Homo-oligomer: A and B are copies of this chain.
């Protein structure tokens, strides 16, 4: 992006030619031809380690929710604006509504009985519900209940709209790869129905009824799909998986990532890989008192606190965390988590991009205490 080419290079490369009139004239001639020398910018362009312009940042749920409610009062939802979503803009990213260079993160708000119209786009999207219930998202015609702790998918080019079946508003977390798609010019968008195509409110979506049976694959679904055919990952299953990991750890069995740290990755049952091609989703649970080792990872992550209380130490700064708080860890910035109580966090990241293109590296600095 290099929006500020005059900023000091993070890891400056020396060895520049002396500034002469002849050189200036050469640079001007280049400029006319849309050419720029590498030697003046290599230090900025190719730093020794990832040097994100994105910065670590924390958004407090207590700040977000009033703004979402106020938007509910002032801004109608409907065709054109499409969604009443408040995007979190990383302070380092020059005013763009990007939480990382690759990811979009927003709080979406739907008032009582409202409908967000249907559309589809190349961008992959998910919703995570930190509180509330009563909204159904209709994905390719399949109504999917949204309840607390659930992860709901709307993979690229699936039509989707939402409607609130209750007299209460509901807010949730939206995650998409909008910045990545925008930056790399890979996106298509199409309007669908102005209402959702099915106002039914079943407890389980058809995708779940076909696919949410552990280790069982329908013979009608033998072709692998780039995104998961499972539209909803229910809190009940996530909670049970994490509970079992911690119990197994107590029994002396290998089950957790590291001592006191249980975690699952949400996966595409047709492949065992990530739920969508660009976005990884995980859920982490720390036992009270656990402190994770400090990690550097290539690629950016966003966490939302789901339950409990603790802290994140990001780039050396400790942030106290409450339920609903959202924080971002840019690429290669060291981070660790500390659990004051049992501590549950949802996480999403651009790891599939990093891994599929062979850029992954991890450095673990310390060990769990």
Q: Which residues of A contact B (CB under 8 A)?
A: 1-3, 5, 11, 13-17, 20, 22-23, 26, 29-30, 33-42, 45-52, 54, 57, 59, 63-64, 67, 70-71, 74-76, 78-91, 94-97, 101-102, 106, 121-123, 156, 178, 180-190, 206, 209-220, 222, 224, 226-228, 230, 233, 237-238, 240-241, 244-245, 247-248, 253-257, 263-272, 275, 277-278, 282, 298-300, 330-332, 350, 352-354, 356-359, 361
Contact B13 A48, beta carbon cutoff 8 Å = no
Contact of A13 among B80, B300, B350 (CB under 8 A): B80
Contact B122 A184, beta carbon cutoff 8 Å = no
Contact B46 A15, beta carbon cutoff 8 Å = no
| A206–B122 CA distance with the chains assembled, in angstroms | 40
Which residues does chain B contribute within 8 Å of A59, judged by CB atoms?
33-35
* Oligomer: number of copies: 4
Contact A332 B185, beta carbon cutoff 8 Å = yes
- Supposing A1-B96, A29-B67, A45-B178 touch, asked if A264 and B216 sit within 8 A by C-beta, the answer is yes
Contact A186 B81, beta carbon cutoff 8 Å = no
Given A34-B91, A39-B85; 15 other pairs, CB 8 A cutoff: A3-B94, A5-B96, A15-B76, A16-B80, A35-B59, A39-B84, A45-B178, A185-B298, A186-B299, A210-B244, A215-B230, A217-B267, A218-B264, A222-B265, A270-B272
Contact B5 A95, beta carbon cutoff 8 Å = yes
23 A-B contact pairs sorted by A residue (CB < 8 Å): A13-B81, A14-B79, A16-B81, A20-B74, A23-B75, A26-B71, A39-B84, A46-B121, A46-B178, A50-B185, A102-B184, A122-B359, A184-B353, A185-B332, A210-B244, A212-B214, A215-B228, A216-B265, A218-B265, A220-B245, A220-B257, A270-B272, A277-B357
**Interchain residue pairs A-B with the least CB separation, the first 10:** A15-B80, A39-B81, A185-B331, A186-B359, A38-B85, A219-B263, A50-B185, A213-B241, A209-B244, A212-B214
Contact of A17 among B54, B74, B97 (CB under 8 A): B74
Which residues does chain B contribute within 8 Å of A275, judged by CB atoms?
215
| A185–B45 CA distance with the chains assembled, in angstroms | 10
| A121–B11 CA distance with the chains assembled, in angstroms | 14
Contact A17 B81, beta carbon cutoff 8 Å = yes
Contact B263 A67, beta carbon cutoff 8 Å = no
